[in-house]
Structure 1
């Protein structure tokens, strides 16, 4: 599996995924006043963002031919 997620993209995915996961858990714990239907949606988004951030591979990028990794100097 080739990398197609660059370092800036990776950082953004991990940060946004972590925030989405925390908000999802907050909804489940009733500490965040948002509709309960958002908890699984945000949880799934968090998992997808974290997995693609840590593996540095995005299947959608692969299908669309996008590669943000080419700007990396490493």
Structure 2
């Protein structure tokens, strides 16, 4: 599994996932808060299956010369 989530994307996904799960735990948004598992999980493993299907990658392009 090749990573396709960059640093900024990763941080945003983790923050949004934790916020949704926190709101769910507080009882503010109900069961919809469990959707926070998706961005949290993809942020932690740095891989998004939907990005792969669409051919998208937010990882920085390496400019190292051989």
TM-score by length of 1: 0.76
Are residues 72 and 5 of structure 1, via their aligned partners in 2, closer, same or farther at CA, if it must alter by over 3 Å? farther
Runs of 4+ in 1 over 2 A off after TM superposition: 70-73
Match of 2:11 in 1: 11
Structure 2: give runs of 5+ residues left out of the alignment. none
Change (3 A) 1:68 1:8: same
TM-score (normalised: structure 2): 0.84
Unpaired runs of 5+ residues, structure 1, are 33-37
Counterpart among 66, 69, 73 of residue 56 in structure 2: 66
User: What RMSD, in angstroms, separates the aligned Cα atoms of the two structures?
Assistant: 1.7
Change beyond 3 A, Cα 1:72–1:51: farther
For the residues of structure 1 that align with 2:51 and 2:8, how far apart are their CA atoms?
15
1 CA distance for matches of 2:18 and 2:33?
A: 10
